Amino acid sequence: MEYVIIGNGVAGISAAESIRQLDADGNITMIGDESGLPYCRPMISMVLEGTATPNQLPIRKAKFYDTLNIAPIFGERVTDIDVGSRTVQVGTAQSVAYDRLLIATGADPRPINAQNQELKNISYMRTSLHVANMLQSLAGTRDALVLGGGLVGFKAAYGLLRRGLKVTMLIGSGYPLSLQVDQTAGQMILKELVAQGLKVKVGVEVTAFEGQDKVEAAQISDGSKIACDMVVIGKGVLPALSFVPRDHIEVDLGIMVNAHMQTSNPHVYAAGDVAEYIDVARNSRWVNAIWPEAVSQGRIAGINMAGRPVAYAGSLSRNVIRIFDLDVLTGGLVTPPHENGYEVMSAMHAGRNTYRKMVFCDQRLVGFTMVNDIEQGGVLMALMHHQIPLTIPKEALLDTRFNFKQVMTHGAWAASPKAA
Amino acid sequence: MKKVIVHPERCVGCMQCMLACAAAHSKTKSLFLAVSEKPQPKPRVHVGVGLYEEGFPNRCRHCNPAPCQLACLPGAIFRDNEIDTVLIDPDKCINCASCAMACPFGVIRYHEDAVAPPGKTVAVKCDNCYERRQQKRIPACVEACMVAALTFETEAAAMKRKTDEISRSVSTGAETAALSPGFELLNTLKKVQIEMRNP
Amino acid sequence: MNKPFENSTICEDSQLLLQKAARDQIETVWERHQAQQPQCGFCEMGLSCRNCVMGPCRVDPFGEGPQKGVCGADADIIVARNLGRMIAAGAASHSDHGRDLVDVLGEVGSGNGSGYQIRDPEKLKRVAAEYGVATDGKDDFQIAAGLADAMKEDYGCKQKSITLISRAPAKRQELWNNLGVTPRGIDRETSEMMHRTHMGVDNDWQSLLLHGVRNALSDGWGGSMIATEVSDILFGTPTPRATRFNVGVLAKDQVNIIVHGHNPVVSEMVLHAAQSEEMLKLAESKGAKGINLAGVCCTGNELLMRHGVAMAGNHLSTELVLSTGAVEMMLVDYQCIMPSLATVASCYHTKMISTSDKARFPGMEHQEFHPENAAETAMTVVRQAVENFANRGEAFIPVDSVDALGGFSVESIVNALGGSPDPLIDAIKAGKIRGAVGIVGCNNPKIKQDHGHVSLAQRLIENDILVVDTGCAAVANAKAGFKMTDAAELAGPGLQEICGALGVPPVLHMGSCVDNVRILVLASALANALNVDISDLPIAGAAPEWYSEKAATIGVYFVASGVFTVLGPMPPITGSLNIVNLLTEGLNDVVGATFAVEPDPEKAAILIRRHIESKRKALGLPAEDV
């Protein structure tokens, strides 16, 4: 059996490990564009912040490929897939045949539309190399400009603040972290960051950068100019699937997969940031480009590729952010569209500085936001992931004393559709 | 292999397991001295409260595969197969709380700890009393539990006991005797009080 | 979704103030109760013993772990020890309160009681006669001194039995004598209980509990009764008077002073100072329209009974009253004063003053009251309160007060009846009134605030059962409007008729928690009039929301006096089913009455009605099936 995995990220790695557990003899080839050891992408912001060191990033040791008997092809991007002859084209010259192919190419940063992006000290924050470069130029910089109020933007801003820089953040629209948290939590985070010195501008974008060699200022859509000697672009990511033949493999925003992580072509699988599957909270297709999904989907894909049919319940968005004294944990649909009969409950405890918001659809929890006292977040995630109908008062989930026992008492786990 | 087994129906909520656990994971191993240690030792077992204000000793199940281990970004969470225990390496832990999102039982806490680098907040959870086991002592929570809500036995033995109990209860003519009539009486009345508050 | 805090309290003022407290980041008793969950099952069942240092010990209720303490005490002994000490603590609290009044009486007698007077010399003479204190040719001060001395003997160990036990029906006294539970001295019985529960003394759970009965009787017919009688002598025997209830009694434009605690010794003096010309002028000069003194808890009830002073709330309201931001000063004496109060007050301008040398609180200023300095100390603190008016921030007084009639002593009830209890007895005989029930006791966050009291009172009066109440129960029922003059409309037709004829509400406010003895005296009068024992009467007691050791003692002296008593929360005794059975069944053969435990007031009402009808039947009166 010839297994080919495109992508050396955590989805690809998890798939390779699962395949090897079930199939000792098959040939596994991994193709990746980042050379070097597979590393933990969410931790690059901690390296920027200084709470983790670059040598903590690798998630596997160098001998990993040898131990699992994997043939690596690194530093190259796949340019084409020929589903008829079951081969992938690597670079210009190389072609690799497969019986089972996994596309786990992840995502690339969303580009911005501004002039003079080639100036020095303007960077995306997607790879460990990006962060290494930022750290190198830290010494000579004082004023950083962060583009984007999403997760990457916030983590970049937080890291640079902790490094002692003056940071200005530009948010295109809405409120900060609008995709990750609800408005209240977003404001709490913003308040905390502003208290620590962050400047924020809402509703504006950069039209052009200025500078000789390095960036010196940015022109803003409102006509103003902001002086800066470092720019970080964090405007989200897009699935990396330019090489995928759309006439043979169905693509929506990401590559569409079924519960076995299989694409419309039965020999081809997809997992991680590039894949699109049913989101259990939204009950519709969605790309959840997050690390823990990549781990799970890679694992499921690998198991299925090795011939053991295992279904995946569905994907689920989730995030945990620690910013100064604020812990924020969110999952599922944090800001539901009002028209669809969602039920929303929230509770704020000013004295303890905690906030909880729960989103229900009928008796099911489909989303939540918690600020501080986040230890029980995993219980809520499990309730959502297994789509367990609640038989206890919904208010109980808002109480910081909520714990596993409260759902166990009423046999909620036994009532799970999976158990039935 | 013997393991800690929880019998929630017996928990009276005295929280002695929490004290014993914190003391067992302190530097001095003595409750009296441990209270003045820095950092303050904290329990790994957590007596939660049910909807009827009943106690519930919640501790790590050492799942396999463990969701926390899969979610751990720096690979600090690992399984020691020999003792069937999921452990956290405090030197590797980066306190990112990814495991908080993953643990379906909510048993991981974040604080400074005697075995962690000084001043560093890390993820902490039950280690099955790794240190005590090496001294051939049973886990501290089990030792402290006077009502056998926490037992240290093989899964097979506990299963057999439970199977026998259930078999007896379904025998024709069997009377279902309360485990403790007094405790049941108290809980019945407490339930009335609680339901009056939350109609 | 429910109204906010609807699960915590039925009171609108409390609900609204809980919202404010949350906004002001004030932690309340409800939150602390939540934070305490789960509460220790060993302690809840009475199965933990901390009486010695071979221990502490606990017994496994499931039978698997230890079944005996280190000394060998089993569950029965440990539960009995704990219950015994609970009774002792309750008896000690009431009786020590009584002793403080006797001290004042003595000081007044010897001419040192600055500002205190004998307000009811008739009662002084009546009680002196009961004590065998000579009154002929003596002035009030000499009698007071003699009576105080005689009462002090009751506290000691010189007597064969305490004096006021003679007020009980002869049959009851005989029963107590035969059981060997006639109390000999007030302090003696409490002291003996502490002795008996020491390791290696009384290890027969039945004998321990019998002593518990004696200890409780030493309170009900001793310490508490002395407290009430001396309070009447010093401050006047209550007569019906109009008053108002709930947090709406606070005044937006006046200096608000709250008295909290139990003993009228302090609050009476503060009231006097607050009504003084000098202080009223000072208040006016500070821009206040007057000085508004109001009470919470039982010291409030004491002032209410004698002066019609308004009550801002009961036990669970004490923090919330402060969260109005409208209180210039809260003065506390002792008992039921949550140590959290000064923390709440610190969020506002409210000054907190502790007044008793035996009760100090974190964050409070201590201004000790003694008989010889009480009047001037009261002026000092009221001046501070008035001066604090200027510091008031925004006040939140969310509701209007409820009118009520209070002040029903036994004397005033008999007066209302035209000088003898006969009209009441006739109404009971005729079935217009089925019987009477004393609803007493506290608030407890385990029960929605006032729900137990109010639901029970409502069901009882609807069914033509006269309700008398005291303490926090009395405040609850007043807040609910049961003491308005036209509240008789809420009662069944028979009770409505009688109340209408007498011009009284269907729920009679009989005072503070020491004033439960007024109920004993009233019950004795009815029993004597019918020539039966108290246990034969169609009456009952209830403590639907009790929390305190004092309430446990009250319950025991009620039952030991022959009154069937229904408790809301379960006392810590379920660790011994022997003791549960004795208290709920076995005692019937011993004292002719038992306890019942029923947190649901609807069901408690049915238990009580059944009991009353069964007693009616036994007396040969017309009875109904319930």
A218 φ/ψ sector (left φ>0, alpha ψ -120 to 50, else beta): beta
Is residue C229 domain-shared with residue C297, that is, in the same domain?
Answer: no
For C369-384, what is the mean pLDDT? 94
Q: What is the CATH number of the domain that holds C329?
A: 3.40.50.2030
Using an 8 Å Cβ cutoff, are A269 and A105 in contact?
A: no
Q: Which amino acid is at A5?
A: I
**Boundary (domain end) residue, out of C184, C211, C235:** C235
Q: What is the pLDDT of residue A420?
A: 28
Instruction: Name which of B46, B52, B100 is nearest A377 (Cβ-Cβ).
Output: B100
Is residue C188 domain-shared with residue C106, that is, in the same domain?
Answer: yes
Minimal Cα–Cα distance from C64 to chain A, Å?
23
CA neighbor of A205 nearest in space, from A189, A186, A185, A224: A224
- The structural domains of chain A, ordered by start, are 2-108+238-305 (3.50.50.60), 122-235 (3.50.50.60), 336-409 (3.30.390)
Tokens of B42: 């904290």
CB contacts of C600 in chain B (<8 Å) are 192, 196
Radius of gyration of chain A (CA): 22
| Start-end of CATH 3.30.70.20 domains in chain B | 60-125
**Boundary (domain end) residue, out of C209, C235, C261:** C235
Of the listed ranges C225-229, C485-489, C600-604, the least confidently predicted one is C485-489
The mean pLDDT value of chain B amounts to 91
Candidates 1.10.10.10, 3.40.50.720, 3.40.630.30, 3.30.70.20; correct CATH number of B60-125?
3.30.70.20
Tokens of C32: 């602390």
Q: Which amino acid is at C78?
A: I
**Boundary (domain end) residue, out of C359, C391, C423:** C391
C532-556 pLDDT per residue, tens: 999 999 999 999 999 999 999 999 9
Which residues have C-beta within 8 Å of that of residue A338, sequence separation ≥ 6?
A: none
**Residue span of the structural domain in which C440 resides:** 407-618
Q: Are C22 and A350 in contact (CB < 8 Å)?
A: yes
Residue A74: strand, helix, or coil:
strand
C589-620 pLDDT per residue, tens: 999 999 999 999 999 999 999 999 999 999 99
Is residue C543 domain-shared with residue C595, that is, in the same domain?
Answer: yes
Q: What's the 3-state SS for C244-259?
A: EECHHHCCCCCEEEEE
| Dist CA A355 CA A399 (whole Å) | 10
Instruction: Name which of B145, B182, B193 is nearest C577 (Cβ-Cβ).
Output: B182
Q: Are C1 and A345 in contact (CB < 8 Å)?
A: yes
| Dist CA B30 CA B19 (whole Å) | 10
B106-139 pLDDT per residue, tens: 999 999 999 999 999 999 999 999 999 999 999 9
Is residue C382 domain-shared with residue C438, that is, in the same domain?
Answer: no
Is C528 part of a structural domain of the chain?
Answer: yes
Q: What is the CATH number of the domain that holds C216?
A: 1.20.1270.30
A321-373 pLDDT per residue, tens: 988 889 999 999 988 877 678 999 999 988 888 999 999 999 999 999 999 99
Candidates 3.30.160, 3.30.2310, 2.60.40, 3.30.70; correct CATH number of B1-59+128-159+175-199?
3.30.70
Is residue C435 domain-shared with residue C539, that is, in the same domain?
Answer: yes
Residue C359: strand, helix, or coil:
strand
Q: What is the ipTM of this complex?
A: 0.93
- Residues of A with a Cβ under 8 Å from any B Cβ are 40, 42-43, 46, 51-52, 56, 59, 291-292, 295-296, 299, 318-320, 322, 327, 329, 331, 374-379, 381-382, 392-393, 396, 401, 403-406, 408-410
Q: Which amino acid is at A176?
A: P
Task: Tell me whether residue C259 is exposed, middle or buried, using C-beta atoms within 10 angstroms of its C-beta: 0 to 12, 13 to 18, 19 or more.
Answer: buried
Minimal Cα–Cα distance from C319 to chain A, Å?
16
> For chain A, first and last CA: distance in Å?
36
Is C59 part of a structural domain of the chain?
Answer: no
| Dist CA A293 CA A285 (whole Å) | 14
Is residue C595 domain-shared with residue C455, that is, in the same domain?
Answer: yes
Q: What is the pLDDT of residue C94?
A: 97
Tokens of A420: 């039935």
Q: Residue B47: in which H helix or E strand, if any?
A: strand B46-49
Which sign does the torsion angle of CA C324, C330, C336, C338 carry? positive
Produce one character per residue of C483-502: b if its CB has 16 or more CB atoms within 10 Å, e if not.
bbeebbebbbebbbbbbeeb
A150-191 pLDDT per residue, tens: 889 989 999 999 999 999 999 876 677 888 888 888 888 888
Instruction: Name which of C25, C27, C37 is nearest A401 (Cβ-Cβ).
Output: C37
CA neighbor of B55 nearest in space, from A407, C446, C38, C47: C38
Is residue C186 domain-shared with residue C268, that is, in the same domain?
Answer: no
For chain C positions 32-61, those within 8 Å of chain A (CB to CB) are 34, 37
Q: What is the pLDDT of residue A415?
A: 37
CB contacts of A351 in chain C (<8 Å) are 25-27
Is C6 part of a structural domain of the chain?
Answer: no
Is residue C304 domain-shared with residue C421, that is, in the same domain?
Answer: no
Is C28 part of a structural domain of the chain?
Answer: no
CA neighbor of A80 nearest in space, from A192, A204, A242: A242
CA atoms within 13 A on the CB side of A29: 19
CB contacts of C27 in chain A (<8 Å) are 351
Q: What is the pLDDT of residue C159?
A: 87
Q: What is the pLDDT of residue C1?
A: 47
If you write DSSP's letter for every residue of C535-571 in order, what string do you get?
GGSSEEEEETT--SHHHHHHHHHHHHTT-EEEESSPP
Tokens of C263: 């003993």
Is residue C262 domain-shared with residue C329, that is, in the same domain?
Answer: yes
Question: C-alpha angle with apex C1: A389 to A381, nearest 5 degrees?
Answer: 35
Is residue C269 domain-shared with residue C188, that is, in the same domain?
Answer: no
Tokens of A17: 């490990």
User: Do the bridges between strand C564-567 and strand C539-543 make them parallel or antiparallel, or are there none, so unpaired?
Assistant: parallel
Q: Confirm or reject contact between C22 and chain A (CB < 8 A).
A: yes
| Dist CA B143 CA B20 (whole Å) | 8
Query: How many domains in chain C?
Result: 3
> For chain B, first and last CA: distance in Å?
46
Q: What is the pLDDT of residue A75?
A: 87
Q: What is the pLDDT of residue A92?
A: 83
pLDDT confidence band for B171 (50 / 70 / 90):
confident
Q: What is the pLDDT of residue B175?
A: 67
For A202-229, what is the mean pLDDT? 93
Produce one character per residue of B12-45: b if its CB has 16 or more CB atoms within 10 Å, e if not.
bbbbbbbbbbbbbbbeeeeeeebeeeebebbbbb
Q: Are B198 and A379 in contact (CB < 8 Å)?
A: no
Residue C57: strand, helix, or coil:
strand
| Dist CA A167 CA C604 (whole Å) | 67
Q: Which amino acid is at C522?
A: L
Is residue C483 domain-shared with residue C606, that is, in the same domain?
Answer: yes
| Dist CA B191 CA B186 (whole Å) | 9
